[in-house]
Amino acid sequence: MRRSLLPIALATTAIIAACGGGGQEETASQGNVFQNPGLEEGRDPWFSLREPEFILSEDVARTGEASALLQMRADPQQEETKVFYLVQEVTTEQLPEILSGHYQVTAWTPGTRLQYLQFAVIVFGADNLPGGYPNHQIRYILAGIDEEPFAIDNAHFVFLGGEDPPLEQWVPFEANVRDDFERLWGAAPKGFEKIRVLFEVRYDSKAPGESPEADVYYDDLYFGPPS
């Protein structure tokens, strides 16, 4: 059964730009609700929702000595969707305002039409948002596609980029998540149980015989007040 599609919103409150690997500023600052935002302390509390688990890499890092590697590989005969995750759940009284970070793609083989990077903010149990959904989402497309990948009732999409990602360089991204919830859902969420943030590389609706591949690193992740 097809789910209805909520409106796709262009990102008016988010910024994305390519940059080289020379910048060494720490993106984490006081007020960051992410724990271990640069993965310098190991894997925890980051996790993957499904196998394969993300790789704690010490070969590529924007700052410090570690980052998270999502290594996307596909069985040519496997159909439909697969997601490679870096995930953290946080509990706060208010939705943090700014979410930012950096990604780097070192390998990108376009093997299927819907192959892309995104991060998603999922708020569970908000008591003031419409629809009666168990969670409310905003999904931010970082690179790879310029169209909505599928229809989903309880999410809005925001496009920060649409082209294939650049290779071998750190790319910063930033979104004002609180403003986007107010603009797209009508209010900043209140009374919620937790927030799940997912950084992903994925493919959807893959046909048999297609073989998308990618190596994607995430580092210096931030969720908090404006710095």
For the stretch 8-45, pLDDT in tens is: 344 434 444 444 443 333 444 569 999 999 999 999 99
pLDDT per position in the chain (227 positions), as tens?
333 333 434 443 444 444 444 333 344 456 999 999 999 999 999 999 999 999 999 999 999 999 999 999 988 877 789 999 999 999 999 999 999 999 999 999 998 999 999 999 999 999 999 999 999 999 999 999 999 999 999 999 999 998 999 999 999 999 999 999 999 999 999 999 999 999 999 999 888 888 899 999 999 999 999 98
User: Between the CA of residue 43 and those of 53, 56, 68, 130, 204, what are the distances in Å?
Assistant: 10, 7, 9, 35, 27
Distance of alpha carbon 8 from alpha carbon 28, whole angstroms:
30
Contact partners, residue 221, CB within 8 Å, separation at least 6: 27, 28, 34, 37, 38, 100, 101, 199
Q: Whats the size of the chain, residue-wise?
A: 227
* Amino acid 24: pLDDT: 37
Q: Show the tokens assigned to 113.
A: 């039409």
Q: What percent of the chain has pLDDT over 90?
A: 78
Write the burial class of residue 180 (CB in 10 Å: 0-12 exposed, 13-18 middle, 19+ buried).
Answer: buried
* Amino acid 29: pLDDT: 53
Query: What topology is assigned to 8-22+30-224 in CATH?
Result: Jelly Rolls (2.60.120)
- Structure pTM? 0.88
* Amino acid 199: pLDDT: 98
Count Cα atoms within 13 angstroms, Cβ side, for 155. Answer: 17
Distance of alpha carbon 46 from alpha carbon 37, whole angstroms:
9
The model's pLDDT over 116-139, given as tens digits with 9 standing for 90+, comes to 999 999 999 999 999 999 999 999
Nearest alpha carbon to residue 139 among 164, 162, 163, 122: 122
